[in-house]
Amino acid sequence: MAGDDEVWLDDEAGPLIRPYTVNSGRTRPTVEMDLLSLVVTTGKPSPDVDPEHVKVIGLCQTPLSVVEVAAHLRLPVMVTKVLLSDLVDCGAIVIWASSTSSSHVTDRVLLEKLLDGLQRI
Amino acid sequence: MVYNESEMLAIQVKILIAGGFGVGKTTFVGSTSEIEPLNTEELITAASMGIDNLSRTVDKSTTTVAFDFGRLTIPQHNIVLYLFGTPGQERFWFMWDELSAGALGAIVLADTRRLQESFAAIDFFENRGIRFLVAVNVFDDAFPYEPDEVRAALELDSQVPIVLCDARDRRSAMSVLRTLIQYLLAAASAYSA
Ligand SMILES: Nc1nc2c(ncn2[C@@H]2O[C@H](COP(=O)(O)OP(=O)(O)O)[C@@H](O)[C@H]2O)c(=O)[nH]1
Ligand SMILES: [Mg+2]
């Protein structure tokens, strides 16, 4: 599947880039979250004046999913997660695990509600 | 942590919109989303792609896959549905487990002028046990194949729904979404019966 250089260099893949150095070079979040986990500001200010931190705090006055935060920051999801971990560590935000799970796939009540909602749109 | 979020938070579910490049994924997400579709990217590292020889020369380098997504709120039932358009370059998104983890189901868009571009997504969902339907996006200059001809060409199981759609048309795209949920519901009923 991979192994030839062409894999890396076609148009849609984007350019090769160095690992992001945001967050002092850390590349893994310390807090567990997924794309749909919800981020919400606690009201406690971040001690950091990092503009990205300020932006997250402003965005997440009402709960917003991790993937939406990433889109608004224009940062890759993984980089966003590291940044969010920092904000959790300093108490400026909390992250609510999303209630998404594979068990929903067989949850008829949920699927019926979803269908009902879609039929009303 | 003691938060009482379960009472106020919506149930969040996701559906994937997959298919080859230019088949209409972004258009579909745009037609169905209640928000202006958002675009973001994820990093795919050499390590996660299993390219050992490359990681030696390009130390820990990463490349990115862009994807777009939208959202639909069902306020009556406190559900938020996310629609994720998978990156067109399937050989990258296949390595990104998080995108498909926990997905309710998937819509594979197909263009009859190049059906082979749908194979990768179909194989992926079949292997992962993610239920999907095939929506044939009707392009103006495409030969009007019957759904059964498409089914045969794609070697699809008889229960997998095939529908025709125009991803540019909101009503058409919404109807595809409903068909998928109906299919999931029928499958869930069979499962628990
Ligand atoms: N005729 C027709 N054109 C479509 C349809 N869906 C998308 N397109 C067009 O096909 C092109 C590619 O669509 P896009 O959504 O960007 O494809 P993606 O690469 O899968 O995201 C755009 O110019 C769309 O306007 C459709 O159902 N019918
Ligand atoms: Mg697209």
| Residue boundaries of the structural domains of chain B | 5-192
- The neighbour count for residue B25, using CB atoms within 10 Å, is 28
Provide CB contacts within 8 A for A51, sequence distance 6+.
Answer: none
DSSP string computed for B7-44: HHSPEEEEEEEE-STTSSHHHHHHHH-SS--EEEEEEE
Which of the following CATH numbers is that of domain B5-192: 3.40.50.300, 3.30.450.30, 3.40.1550.20, 3.40.50.880?
A: 3.40.50.300
Instruction: Please state, rounded to an integer, the average pLDDT across all residues of chain B.
Output: 84
Q: Is residue B137 within a helix (H) or strand (E), and if so which, with residue range?
A: strand B132-137
- B155, pLDDT greater than 60: yes
Give B103 to chain A, closest Cα distance, Å. 7
Do residues B37 and B70 touch, judged by C-beta distance below 8 A? yes
Give residue-wise pLDDT tens across range A44-73. 887 777 889 999 999 999 999 999 999 999
Distance of CA A121 to the CA centre of its chain: 28
Pick the more confident residue, A6 or B42. Answer: B42
Residues with CB under 6 A from ligand 1: B 19, 21-27, 85, 88, 137-140, 166-168
What's the Rg (C-alpha) of chain A? Answer: 18
Residue given tokens 């999801």 in the structure block = A77
Residues of B in contact with A71 (CB under 8 A): 38-40, 69
Mutating to test ligand 1, I would choose from B16, B27, B169 the residue with most ligand atoms within 8 A of its C-beta, which is B27
CA–CA dist A19, B108 (Å, integer): 32
Q: What string of pLDDT tens digits covers the 121 residues of chain A? A: 333 333 343 444 444 443 444 555 566 788 889 999 999 999 988 777 788 999 999 999 999 999 999 999 999 898 899 999 999 999 999 999 876 555 666 789 999 999 999 999 8
| Residue boundaries of the structural domains of chain A | 11-99
Which pLDDT score, from 0 to 100, does residue B160 have? Answer: 96
CA–CA dist A59, A72 (Å, integer): 8
Distance of CA B78 to the CA centre of its chain: 22
- Cα A77 to Cα A85, B156, B164, distances in angstroms: 12, 34, 33
Give residue-wise pLDDT tens across range B58-115. 334 566 788 899 999 999 999 999 999 988 665 666 566 788 888 999 999 999 999 9
Beta bridge partners of B43: B64
Residue given tokens 């197909």 in the structure block = B110
CA–CA dist B83, B69 (Å, integer): 5
- The neighbour count for residue B53, using CB atoms within 10 Å, is 8
